[in-house]
């Protein structure tokens, strides 16, 4: 194997006195703060928190303000259970986080994650309405509990959809 002829080798560019040596790697493109994964995470977290706030708003209007007894059947032989603020916050946050997790899985597994998310989330919302319809005590409680489900889903579905890959 022969070495390259010295006349074919080009000398390396030498920096001027006081300048930093030239880097063979081009600088990274400038990115705006708040873009990429961190921005998506922030938007998804905001969607989860806003959905919980929507459920709390419905609870506050229906329960303390309107005086509706938000109670459900806890089981066949169990006493009725009052839906309190802690329950509303906990369940709506868990539902939002579960939705976020589902969207993350769909983004890795589905060919069209945005469409898959919308169809799946709307289906889960429809099925979740069976809870208030079958366990709520009284028409007013059933309506208020269903409104909480709809408020939570009404915020989560479009907000998480906007963050999904197409």
Each residue of 138-163: pLDDT tens digit? 999 999 999 999 999 999 999 999 99
Residue 22 located in a structural domain: no
Task: Give residues with Cβ within 8 angstroms of 50, minimum separation 6.
Answer: 155, 159
Each residue of 72-130: pLDDT tens digit? 887 778 888 899 999 999 999 999 999 999 999 999 999 999 999 999 999 999 999 99
Beta strands in the chain (DSSP E): 71-73, 80-82
Structural domain span for residue 103: 38-72+81-163
Residue 26 located in a structural domain: no
Residue 7 located in a structural domain: no
Residue 9 located in a structural domain: no
Residue 106 has φ and ψ, to the nearest 5°, of: -60, -35
Distance CA 27, CA 21 (A): 14
**How many structural domains is the chain composed of?**
1
Residue 27 located in a structural domain: no
């Amino acid at each position: 194997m022969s070495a390259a002829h010295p006349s074919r080798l080009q000398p390396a560019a030498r920096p001027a006195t006081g300048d930093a040596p030239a880097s063979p790697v081009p600088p990274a493109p400038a990115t705006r703060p708040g873009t990429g994964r961190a921005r998506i995470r922030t938007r998804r977290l905001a969607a989860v928190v806003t959905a919980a706030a929507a459920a709390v708003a419905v609870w506050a209007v229906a329960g303390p303000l309107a005086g509706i007894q938000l109670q459900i059947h806890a089981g066949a032989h169990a006493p009725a259970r009052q839906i309190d603020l802690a329950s509303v916050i906990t369940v709506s946050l868990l539902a939002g986080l579960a939705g976020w997790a589902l969207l993350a899985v769909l983004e890795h597994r589905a060919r069209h994650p945005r469409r898959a998310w919308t169809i799946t989330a709307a289906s889960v919302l429809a099925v979740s309405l069976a809870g208030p319809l079958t366990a709520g005590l009284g028409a007013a409680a059933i309506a208020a509990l269903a409104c909480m489900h709809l408020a939570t889903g009404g915020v989560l579905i479009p907000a998480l959809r906007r963050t999904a890959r197409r």
